[in-house]
Amino acid sequence: MYQYTQVDQQIVNERVEEFRDQTRRYLAGELSADEFLALRLMNGLYIQRQAPMLRVAIPYGLTSAQQMRKLAHIARTYDQGYGHFTTRTNLQFNWPKLEEVPDILAELAEVQMHAIQTSGNCIRNTTTDHFAGVIEGEIEDPRPWCEIIRQWSTLHPEFAYLPRKFKIAVTGSQQDRAASQVHDIGLHLVKNAAGELGFEVLVGGGLGRTPVIGKVIREFLPALDLLSYLDAILRVYNLKGRRDNKYKARIKILVESLGIEAFRELVEAEWQFTRDTELKLTHAEVERVKAHFTPFAYAADAAEDTRLAQHLAEDEAFKIWYERNTRAHKVPGYRCVMVSLKPQLGAPGDITALQMEVVADLAEAYSFAEIRSTHDQNLLLADVRQADLYQVWQTLSEHNLARANINTLTDMIVCPGFDFCALANAKTLNIADAINAEFEDLDYLYDLGDIQLNMSGCINACGHHHVGHIGILGVDKKGEDWYQITLGGSAREDASLGKVLGRSVAADEVPRVLRVILNTYVELRQPEESFLECVRRVGLTPFKEKVYAADH
Amino acid sequence: MPLIINRQLQNVDPWTRLQSVEGESLSWPETKALISGTDWPTWAARCPAKLELGVSITADTTLEDLTPWLDRLSLIEICFEVFRDGRGFSLARLLRRAGYQGELRAAGDVGQDRLAYLERCGFNAFVLPEGRDPLQALAAFEQIQVHYQGAADDPRPIYRQEA
Ligand code: SF4
């Protein structure tokens, strides 16, 4: 993974001292609350319902074992012993003390981490496919490009006060596990007819109050032109994006109102000024960054192991976990191991300090000391020898990290909702608990196959409900929590927005309604047809009829 | 209000501010006239040639509005009405890219924590809001010493700079 140079370290260190000074001035009353707000947001610090919340950047979801141990240490020392992984693959601490945040940032800097630009109206953490570099059929590993974007966007002097936050995702294969089509900019690594590397560039995707699928602004951007083109898009947006209404300030609204053609013309015109300047990447710089992401020294004889076959034959629970929570690796004899942060009891994406340490130890012993956090709020040990899987599973099981539910209904994406978030309309964690209680029978879940359930506590859509196969949105009706249900969304390469099923339902009705929806699917499905395919084929009407049958 | 030019605190501002009011004529100063108000082009056209001319604008003004005047102007002041409005950062870069070499001032809601960013975008002068400590503000330029990306101050990203 990327290792800081002296320059990277200096930037992070200076930033810590700068924020220490800003915090001091704020606490001394020299800096207004409003002004400090913009500054603390740029350092990942929110004030939430209960306490401040600090969001630590995990660039493109990659952490070392050492960094994970540091996060565990911070959780224990400065927080209540746990953290929460977000869909931006970042980690949130829910209970830090404002005056201790500079110390936390200093601790992070010791392990090449920071919280820069994890909030505020600036360019946020760039995300990517969590299987980057380890799956078959990839055009190229997207992570070096993410790192290049990270460096370019970090403390960018011109793009720190954009109309609204700005999110970029990069994919390296035909498959999209980074929800790139619902990002402000989605970048897809592609090759042109001449075999040259470049990007297909999408712009103006997003969720929130006005969900939109991104549009292609450029079918092929030569790879070395990446930053000059991003610069052009950002400058047009910074100058022309709306600033009078925060719900209309994202780039998607600008693109929609101008139309993609007119927007493209503006960007291309701006780009002509910069494409052949120092913004053009050099081969040497790209190679320098790529050198940090070379494949590990995989054991040539890993596939000769026979223990895996034996354990699979002997231990049914292990076999189920293996089938559900591990994925193919491009190197024979290795597997990718999903670490489920979706236990039966507990908030999706939460992880205790001890669990962080357990995962760090496992990574060190079995997966080249690296851990990835995923868009769907799980962790991944990407490079585990098959011979070690049994041991890894046993340890994960002991620590409640091996629930064999990856990609099933209970592998939900859920935002923290009303329990933590000051913007929420409704609770989400109690609904997640109720769903876990209603659908604890794993055999039933396996029979249902892959289902992505996404839930948000308000229209800001941090839980990506629009693009869940099943989406749940908390709404406030006269002080009570109600839930609107959508069906048919997808964040993958076949991205689509879910459609509203009908009137919203009360909190205690959600599990029953889900049960009816799933039973309807089981009745209607054709052989091998997934939930999403079925919804797309039959439409919402049959589901609507069953769910609201009692109303008639 | 404290004025910093090229990282130096100034004792006096040599410019005379002229607020144009509709229907009334301006009385021109001896040397340096700084015009504000949306009808500044009208007044700029009438400005005696022997005077140095400056304009004070908001980010609603575009590069295209200013282009015909760039050779005539020796001061452009961009007023930030609220600090969240980041258009001025990009406008400054466009002005420098268009070849404007005169004084580029940031005024309005200019907190010390934005000074270094503003400078990197091409501003060389800053009017701080009343009551701010100018010495602390001067220190703010030095807080972050290295930069990944190029900007108006130095177009080279870090990897293109000599070690
Ligand atoms: S979706 Fe709403 S409730 Fe959930 S985290 Fe985002 S802002 Fe908070």
Task: Report all structural domains of chain A as residue ranges with CATH numbers, in order of start.
Answer: 6-110 (3.90.480.20), 134-292 (3.30.413.10), 302-398 (3.90.480.20), 413-551 (3.30.413.10)
Vertex A473: Cα angle to A471 and A476 (nearest 5): 165
User: How many whole angstroms from A375 Cα to the centroid of ligand 1?
Assistant: 16
Q: Are A75 and A84 in contact (CB under 8 A)?
A: no
**According to the model, what pLDDT value does residue A354 have?**
98
Q: How confident is the model at residue A552 (pLDDT cuts 50, 70, 90)?
A: low
In this predicted structure, the answer to whether residue A516 has a pLDDT above a threshold of 60 is: yes
Residue nearest to atom 6 of ligand 1 (CA): A462
In this predicted structure, the answer to whether residue A49 has a pLDDT above a threshold of 80 is: no
Using alpha carbons, list the distances in angstroms from residue A472 to A336, A341, A356, A433, A532: 30, 20, 29, 14, 15
Ligand 1 site: residues with CB under 6 angstroms?
Answer: A 415-417, 421, 423-424, 456-458, 460-463
Q: Are A495 and A508 in contact (CB under 8 A)?
A: no
- 3-state class (DSSP) for residue B142: coil
With beta carbons under 8 A apart, name residues in chain B contacting A156: 149
Q: Are A202 and A215 in contact (CB under 8 A)?
A: yes
Confirm or reject contact between A159 and chain B (CB < 8 A). yes
**According to the model, what pLDDT value does residue B65 have?**
96
**According to the model, what pLDDT value does residue A47 have?**
79
Confirm or reject contact between B90 and chain A (CB < 8 A). yes
Contact A285 B151 (CB under 8 A): no
Q: How does pLDDT run across A459-515, given as a tens digit for each residue?
A: 999 999 999 999 999 999 999 999 999 999 999 999 999 999 999 999 999 999 999
Q: How would you class B84 by CB atoms within 10 Å of its CB: exposed for 0-12, middle for 13-18, buried for 19 or more?
A: middle
Q: Are strands A379-385 and A334-339 parallel, antiparallel or unpaired?
A: antiparallel
- Residue given tokens 């939430």 in the structure block: A48
User: How many whole angstroms from A142 Cα to the centroid of ligand 1?
Assistant: 29
- Mean of pLDDT over chain A: 95
User: How many whole angstroms from A416 Cα to the centroid of ligand 1?
Assistant: 7
User: How many angstroms from the chain centroid is the CA of residue A380?
Assistant: 13
Q: Take residue A223 and report the two structure tokens written for it.
A: 């790879």
Confirm or reject contact between A35 and chain B (CB < 8 A). yes
Q: Are A286 and A223 in contact (CB under 8 A)?
A: yes
How far is Cα B119 from Cα A121, in angstroms, rounded to an integer?
Answer: 20
Amino acid occupying residue A40: R
Q: Which residues, at least 6 apart from B60, have a Cβ–Cβ distance to it below 8 Å? A: none
**High-pLDDT (> 90) share of chain A, %:** 90
Specify the DSSP element, H or E, that contains B4.
Answer: strand B3-5
> B115, B111, B117: which is closest to B131 by C-alpha?
B111
Of the candidate ranges A102-106, A158-162, A363-367, B141-145, the one whose mean pLDDT is the lowest: B141-145
Of the candidate ranges A231-240, A410-419, B110-119, the one whose mean pLDDT is the lowest: B110-119
**Average pLDDT value for residue range A311-333:** 97
Packing angle between helix A143-153 and helix A226-240, nearest 10 degrees?
A: 50
Q: How far apart are the first and last CA of chain B?
A: 40
How many Å lie between the alpha carbon of B116 and the closest alpha carbon of chain A? 8
Vertex A347: Cα angle to A344 and A348 (nearest 5): 85
Q: Cβ–Cβ contacts within 10 Å for residue B54, how many?
A: 26
Q: How confident is the model at residue A384 (pLDDT cuts 50, 70, 90)?
A: very high
Contact B87 A284 (CB under 8 A): no
How far is Cα A269 from Cα A274, in angstroms, rounded to an integer?
Answer: 10
Q: Take residue A85 and report the two structure tokens written for it.
A: 């992984």
Q: How many CA atoms lie within 13 A of A425 on its CB side?
A: 21
Amino acid occupying residue A177: R
Q: Write out chain B's pLDDT in tens, 163 residues.
A: 899 999 999 999 999 999 877 777 778 999 999 999 888 998 999 999 999 999 999 999 999 999 999 999 999 999 999 888 999 999 999 999 999 999 999 999 998 889 999 999 999 999 998 888 888 889 888 888 888 999 998 899 988 886 5
Confirm or reject contact between A287 and chain B (CB < 8 A). no
Q: How does pLDDT run across A325-335, given as a tens digit for each residue?
A: 999 999 999 99
With beta carbons under 8 A apart, name residues in chain A contacting B121: 157-158
Specify the DSSP element, H or E, that contains A24.
Answer: helix A6-27
The DSSP 8-state label assigned to residue A295 in this structure reads: P
A461's torsion region: left (phi>0), alpha (psi -120 to 50) or beta?
left
User: How many angstroms from the chain centroid is the CA of residue A400?
Assistant: 22
**According to the model, what pLDDT value does residue B24 have?**
74
Q: Are A517 and A539 in contact (CB under 8 A)?
A: no
How far is Cα A341 from Cα A353, in angstroms, rounded to an integer?
Answer: 13
pTM: 0.95
User: How many whole angstroms from A245 Cα to the centroid of ligand 1?
Assistant: 18
Q: Are A162 and A234 in contact (CB under 8 A)?
A: yes
Where are any strands of DSSP class E within A340-456? 350-352, 370-373, 379-385, 413-414, 453-456
Confirm or reject contact between A156 and chain B (CB < 8 A). yes
Q: Take residue A121 and report the two structure tokens written for it.
A: 């109206």
Closest chain A residue to B93, measured at CA: A158
Q: Are A427 and A481 in contact (CB under 8 A)?
A: yes
Specify the DSSP element, H or E, that contains B94.
Answer: helix B87-97
Q: Are B112 and B84 in contact (CB under 8 A)?
A: no
Confirm or reject contact between A273 and chain B (CB < 8 A). yes
In this predicted structure, the answer to whether residue A551 has a pLDDT above a threshold of 70 is: no
How does A173-200 read in b/e, with b if 16+ C-beta sit within 10 Å?
A: beebbbbbbbbbbbbbbbeeeeeebbbb
Domains and CATH numbers, chain B: 3-160 (3.20.20.70)
Q: How does pLDDT run across A177-221, given as a tens digit for each residue?
A: 999 999 999 999 999 999 999 999 999 999 999 999 999 999 999
> B36, B54, B30: which is closest to B125 by C-alpha?
B54
Q: How many CA atoms lie within 13 A of A47 on its CB side?
A: 9
In this predicted structure, the answer to whether residue A147 has a pLDDT above a threshold of 60 is: yes
**Average pLDDT value for residue range A267-289:** 96
The DSSP 8-state label assigned to residue A368 in this structure reads: T
